[in-house]
């Protein structure tokens, strides 16, 4: 039996922007990608970066003289609730991933910060200047912290039916993920005479416990490991039959968030008929002078709702119709920018 011949795929170049890369921020550029792959990979990476990476956080505390979060603290300006809210913002790097303890003991008039905390050897405090509380002259503050590892967000796990603990322990909801913000843009890039390739620009911001490079490496490892289990037969060796394309030229410059997101300018310049709205919604828009898709996406929700004879059903229909094409209201796209991109692509 003859072996099937597969068409090769483009293997992109992966590069971090060295000028902007820091311990907490970084921008990854991936190009050229097969058409449509930029949005696919960008969305998958963003979802895993925000919810699938392990981190550590304070999950419980014992504050001397306090057995619940609604108490007052003698000699401390803040009450227990304010102090606990400040404790939730402590950033902890965990070298081993194992649970750990931290302790704080401060007396006398002072501003208590994270730098005053003594942690186990495998724990490192990042935001040492973060203020925890203000203590009066005759006041004191003693806290024992319980640190655990986890992923995403976890609500406070109080023992069932026992809100007041014998040891006074207060359980906290924890935000484990070390990634604070992820955004991505998908631009168009040229390879030879073909202008349909994608360029993915992924921006990552972390809390300092993990570098952007390590965060992306973790996310890719998660995705790759999970997808391996989808293979039910032998894997097709695309890496063997494909190759890295050395040169790629960007042909669509970033003019707005939407265009940078890879939206085709030709769609935005089309009549609203292309969105196939119901007769009622279509006629209301035409009567209001909204004839093209670019005119529609530049409208605000408030102005669309105020359109004559435009009810909630039509409003929801329009929003959903735009969403299906990766569009939304209030995008503020300049027509002259779209025309410039169109002319550049023809060059």
Instruction: Give pLDDT tens digits for 107-129.
Output: 999 999 999 999 999 999 999 99
Range with the lowest mean pLDDT among 20-29, 46-55, 219-228, 269-278? 269-278
> Quick one: pLDDT band at residue 142, thresholds 50, 70, 90?
very high
Find the mean pLDDT for residues 220-238: 84
Domains of the chain, by residue range, sit at 1-53+178-251, 55-175, 260-347
Whole-prediction pTM = 0.66
> Quick one: pLDDT band at residue 82, thresholds 50, 70, 90?
very high
> Mean pLDDT in the chain?
84
More confident call, 190 vs 21: 21
Residue tagged 């989808």 (tokens): 230
The backbone torsions φ and ψ at residue 257, rounded to the nearest 5 degrees and listed phi first, read -60, -40
Range with the lowest mean pLDDT among 50-59, 91-100, 182-191? 182-191
DSSP string, 95-125: SS---EEEEEEEESSEEEEGGG-EE-TTEEE
Distance CA 343, CA 347 (A): 7
Burial class (CB in 10 A: 0-12, 13-18, 19+), 338: buried
Question: Which are the contacts of 109, defined by CB distance < 8 A and separation ≥ 6?
Answer: 135, 136, 137, 139
The class level of CATH for 260-347 reads mainly alpha
Does the pLDDT of residue 243 top 70, yes or no?
no
Token readout for 252 is 């669509």
The pLDDT, as a whole number, for residue 338 is 66
> Quick one: pLDDT band at residue 257, thresholds 50, 70, 90?
very low
Domain 1-53+178-251 has CATH 3.40.50.880: no
E-strand stretches of the chain: 10-11, 13-16, 25-33, 54-63, 92-94, 100-107, 110-113, 118-119, 123-125, 131-135, 140-151, 153-154, 169-171, 174-175, 179-191, 194-206, 243-244, 249-250
How many beta carbons lie within 10 A of that of residue 127, not counting itself? 14
Classify domain 55-175 at the CATH topology level.
RNA Polymerase Alpha Subunit; Chain A, domain 2 (2.170.120)
From residue 9, give the alpha-carbon distance in Å to each of 62, 78, 101: 57, 60, 50
Give kind and range of the element (H or E) at residue 339: helix 335-346
Does the pLDDT of residue 346 top 70, yes or no?
no
């Amino acid at each position: 039996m003859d072996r099937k011949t597969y068409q090769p795929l483009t293997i992109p170049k992966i590069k971090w922007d060295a000028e902007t890369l820091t311990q907490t921020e970084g921008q990854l550029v991936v190009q050229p990608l097969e058409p449509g792959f930029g949005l696919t990979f960008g969305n998958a990476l963003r979802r895993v970066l925000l919810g699938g990476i392990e981190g550590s956080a304070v999950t419980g505390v014992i504050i001397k003289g306090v057995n619940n979060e609604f108490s007052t603290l003698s000699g401390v300006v803040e009450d227990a609730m304010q102090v606990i809210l400040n404790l939730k913002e402590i950033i902890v790097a965990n070298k081993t991933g194992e649970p750990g303890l931290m302790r704080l003991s401060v007396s006398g008039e002072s501003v208590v910060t994270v730098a005053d905390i003594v942690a186990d050897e495998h724990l490192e405090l990042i935001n040492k200047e973060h203020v925890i509380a203000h203590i009066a002259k005759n006041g004191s503050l003693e806290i024992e912290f319980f640190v655990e590892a986890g992923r995403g967000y976890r609500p406070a796990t109080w023992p069932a039916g026992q809100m007041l603990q014998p040891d006074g322990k207060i359980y906290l909801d924890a935000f484990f993920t070390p990634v604070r913000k992820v955004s991505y843009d998908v631009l168009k890039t040229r390879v030879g005479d073909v202008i349909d390739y994608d360029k993915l620009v992924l921006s990552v911001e972390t809390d300092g416990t993990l570098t952007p490079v390590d965060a992306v490496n973790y996310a890719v490892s998660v995705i790759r490991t999970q997808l391996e289990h989808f293979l039910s037969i032998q894997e097709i060796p695309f890496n063997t039959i494909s190759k890295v394309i050395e040169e790629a030229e960007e042909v669509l410059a970033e003019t707005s968030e939407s265009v940078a997101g890879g939206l085709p300018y030709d769609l935005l310049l089309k009549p609203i008929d292309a969105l196939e709205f119901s007769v009622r919604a279509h006629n209301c828009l035409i009567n209001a002078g909204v004839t093209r898709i670019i005119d529609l996406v530049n409208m605000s929700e408030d102005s669309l709702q105020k359109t004559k004879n435009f009810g909630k059903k039509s409003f929801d229909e329009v929003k959903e119709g735009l969403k299906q094409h990766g569009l939304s209201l209030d995008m503020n796209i300049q027509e002259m920018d779209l025309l410039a991109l169109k002319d550049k692509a023809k060059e």
